[in-house]
Structure 1
């Protein structure tokens, strides 16, 4: 008895779900990069319930897996085990081994150009550094040996020392400081012969605060640099490194000197005479003298100064900024209040001379808001959409409200200007109205054309059917072929068809007959082919005499109808077509009633 009980328990456990079989995971091994994903598949043999529970041995640090088997590798390389367990019988499982490879960072490469260059003492050259393998392309420039071997800017401009030698300039990657590249700069010794400095012009003149451009030419050495200076210091003016002399605001004659860097004993000078500003009877004239401007609007004034070669003026508004402001070019910006205000221009050459304009600030005038809709016209099929845009000028509020004249019966328009046409033809107006100024608006005229073509969806199946003849159908005329059951044959067929007279009418197939023979051997006349139209009903028949039965391998007979394209015919309207009765004469036997499948006829653009 003690032996039988465990056996029974084991048997019962095995029978808890006889349809839950072993689990198989594929692929068994897979290799991915750190952080990448891969998909594993699990199947349960002979299972009504194919679900499995996915897990990763060791937890999330060894990667994660979704309920659909998508495994996401961890950042750390290694070999990990993914387990799929039968959701019904957890004793059944299978595993896959995932090898995760480390992601190799791209190698940073630094390249300096030029790699070698020769320059003179005290001169400069531009070096460039190109960094690949990293989105961080910045470098740190340095001169080996420090500043006594020259200096280099953050942009790579190297300035040589005043001594000869070969010096190394290095660019080090900010992204990876272990990566760097260098340029070798050879600084030539100064070749000193009979050094001579020439300044031109040797003399010149300007007025207070004026400038004179000087140039220096150095011969007898390959170091062409000079140092500029003004005798007596800045009180007598100053000169830039490019030789531009700036005169002081005083009268006199001043000496500007260029001294050779290669041989400071060699220099040359220019004599600059600074003349006083010529002041005669200075006259300042502002125009216009009066004007009217709206609140917060601009008004341009001009000024003419005569009697001096210094035409500069200082603009001011009497009473300060509360009464408006004026720019250095004479543009007056009115305050946001009404009143009469004075704007004055004062001569810089002679501050006792000035002139004014009196400006009247009137009521606030809102800007003229303009709305422009594009496109102005469009044609869109019934039920389809077109995107309209509205451009608003004259206001910081560019929002508009869209409407369709006549309401939703004439189509709808979204807040973004997408107009959807109604299922009826016509011409409709869509308007955009400015939110800032409801009096400003613009419109687009949308044309929705009438239905001009007909669409036919063939019936399915392999029995008797009316299918579209693509080569003969065109526009709003539809030609239908009668086809028979696959693998059968016969000697003739007839149809009686009905239409809705308001939407369509019967047409001749070849210009004379309402029916055309497609597959029967009719022989010589008189042929057994007939057609007749009575109101909206069409009756046709085609039969052959004596000839062998014809296999149903194509069109047996054809009929035609025309959909009425009028303003009352909307796109997408269904055109009824009914088979009132039909017969076929099979290869053997007597005339039989047949069931003919008809497709769906709808109107289109």
Structure 2
């Protein structure tokens, strides 16, 4: 049998879509998603722990190994802080060299010993109490038997004591890691102190002395301390005896309760010159002479009192100058008592022959 050749028309080949083959690019594997450690930063108290987790940004949870610089961390991501405050770093490592880290601030545990004055008086104002200050810590104060000044949110506080027998201070201290401690202190309140000085003011002759007395109600010891405020203002001893300086002037004696230095008194002291002066008058007068004059030096603040024997005062009996009439003799005596503001006196005398 004769074989025939099959002829396919060119148009049929075109209809079948026979085309030239093309090159196909190879498919690359997808790049791994970046790694994240959670939480990214936190504070931990020394010796305490925290849990960390790692994830990819696409939400997957790849297997990781953990490292810690400053502290320790186990395979599950549980971190344990060291015993000293420091800055630590937690690192997670995943397949393919991916890493992520978190910062850890290791802080000291809260400290809260309350300190306050040993002695507090009932009704005392502006008394200070405190706890040790810690970086990053918060504070919340309360007081029973008194009143806080301000919001009480610092390491120190001022308060006013009440009238009860005690005051109780408490402070809640929370460190930067959230660990809290409440410290408290009970303060016995001592009945308030009242101080008075006798005399409340004084005038003293230069170089003379004066004994001050005092009354102290309340307190524990009932003792006071004396001093003079101004340099060169004299001296005062432990019993309250004041010795004035030689120079007249205005000075201040201070007295302070030894129990509470805020209880004090200031006593103004005026130091005046001692009375001085000689009587000046005629050297000799005739019997019955009239309108004669005599005098002593005038001193500020002084009082004068004249007396005469063998004659008659006519004017100025209480002044630095006096007029008088002579008697029949054989002499007359003039006496002037000069008294300064401190009450110290001097008698000046003049005898005048009459004849």
TM-score normalised to the size of structure 2? 0.30
Kindly indicate whether structure 1 or structure 2 has the higher relative contact order, using CA contacts under 8 Å at least 6 residues apart.
Answer: 2
Which is greater in Rg? Answer: 2
